[in-house]
Amino acid sequence: MNPLDLVSLSTAQTALAEVLPDDQSFLATAITAASRAVQRYCRRWFLLQSYLEIRTPCPGQWDKADPDLILLGQYPIVGPARLRIGRTNAVQIVNQNATTNQEAYVSFTTSGDPDISLTNTGLLLTTVASGVQTTNAITWTTTSPFTTLQSIVNSINALGGGWLATLQSPALANLGAYNLYGSEGTSGALAPSQCMLSVFATDLSYARIDVASGTVFLASETLGNNAGPDWLWPTGVDAGPAGNFRPEVLCAYSAGYSVIPEDIQTATCTVIKALLQELQTDTRFDDEHGDAADVKLAALAERVMPASIKQLLAPWRIHRVL
């Protein structure tokens, strides 16, 4: 069973007993395809999952004393969400051997489902010298005990070949390496260029979360003699109208349902039925003319995702733009 399936094999077999073919070997694939179709239509994932998102707060309406807010990608929120700010340079990586190497760059290795959330699990340090590519992998643990930033720096410096890593602050030495972030692509590291990796160093203390909608409201503070509400981040940066500065927020949270709602399961089973019927039906003609009646097939989109199912899923569909 795929971890994103919205119904179990036994549930699908019970609901579709009258239409299932004798050969049910394709049923598991159809369940996964239908589950993906339902969730993509609703623009959300329903099964309980863990997520990591970097968000920039949306500005509130200052004249109405509305707070800045963050719209998380998934909801309802389950358990405490961790919100961190203060993106800080943590590790600098450079390849100093520009005489031998014509290229040098750094990228992250990841794990997880790219449609849901990816977790950084290590680094790839690559050089190209006279057309020969050499890649070194540096990995870290994502469960306790965690690999520290100092350990990562030591491992990179032990590679040789011109690689040099520098910790940007001694205070970060024992921080877990899983906190490292950087470019989603490759970062050039051949001197004089350098790759800079960062961490979110400060937990946000002032926030209110509407778990049902996945909305984070950032609390207001009054700054000295300033009139009206401003927004004070733990870094001491005025994020209100005067500074007009809203730093990135790293949001780590869990969202979804441990038991999929019944109407979502019903919709999924109906889509499975439609997919199976498509596989068993000759749909190469557009219409058919007989002596007594004219027959025309419904459009493909209507056959796979009928209007009745769209209506059933309407309350679950996300319409907002993140």
Q: Are strands 195-203 and 77-95 parallel, antiparallel or unpaired?
A: antiparallel
User: Which is nearest to 264 in space by CA: 313, 297, 219?
Assistant: 313
Whether 34 and 272 have beta carbons less than 8 Å apart is answered as yes
- The whole-angstrom separation of Cα 186 and Cα 87 is 19
User: Which is nearest to 103 in space by CA: 186, 181, 175?
Assistant: 186
Mean pLDDT of the chain: 85
76 cis-preceded (ω within 30 degrees of 0): yes
Q: What residues contact residue 11 under an 8 Å CB cut-off, 6+ apart?
A: 265, 269
DSSP per residue over 20-81, as a string? --S--TTHHHHHHHHHHHHHHHHTS--B-EEEEEEE-PBP--GGGTPPPEEE-SS-SEEEEE
What is the per-residue pLDDT for 155? 98
Is 0.75 topped by the overall pTM?
yes
- The whole-angstrom separation of Cα 255 and Cα 73 is 9
Q: Three-state DSSP class for 79?
A: strand
Is residue 29 scored above 70 in pLDDT? yes
- The whole-angstrom separation of Cα 275 and Cα 19 is 11
Instruction: Quick: pLDDT tens for 285-312.
Output: 555 566 655 555 555 555 668 888 999 9
The larger pLDDT score, comparing residue 82 to residue 230, is at: 82
- Percentage of residues in the chain having pLDDT higher than 90: 61
Is residue 239 scored above 50 in pLDDT? no
- Percentage of residues in the chain having pLDDT higher than 70: 81
Model confidence band, residue 115 (pLDDT cutoffs 50, 70, 90): confident
What is the per-residue pLDDT for 234? 41
- Among 115-119, 147-151, 225-229, 309-313, whose mean pLDDT is lowest? 225-229
Q: Are strands 195-203 and 207-210 parallel, antiparallel or unpaired?
A: unpaired
Whether 257 and 250 have beta carbons less than 8 Å apart is answered as no
- The whole-angstrom separation of Cα 207 and Cα 170 is 29
DSSP per residue over 278-290, as a string? HHHS----SEEE-
Is residue 221 scored above 50 in pLDDT? no
Instruction: Quick: pLDDT tens for 40-56.
Output: 999 999 999 999 999 98
What is the per-residue pLDDT for 252? 95
In this structure, the dihedral spanned by the alpha carbons of residues 231, 234, 236 and 238, taken in order and rounded to 10 degrees, is -20
Please give the average per-residue pLDDT across 167-190, as a whole number: 95
What is the per-residue pLDDT for 245? 47
- The whole-angstrom separation of Cα 158 and Cα 155 is 5
The angle subtended at Cα 255 by Cα 250 and Cα 258, nearest 5°, is 155
Whether 51 and 112 have beta carbons less than 8 Å apart is answered as no
Domain ranges in the chain are 9-47+260-281+296-316, 52-256
Please give the average per-residue pLDDT across 139-143, as a whole number: 94
User: Which is nearest to 287 in space by CA: 277, 295, 279?
Assistant: 295
Is residue 157 scored above 80 in pLDDT? yes
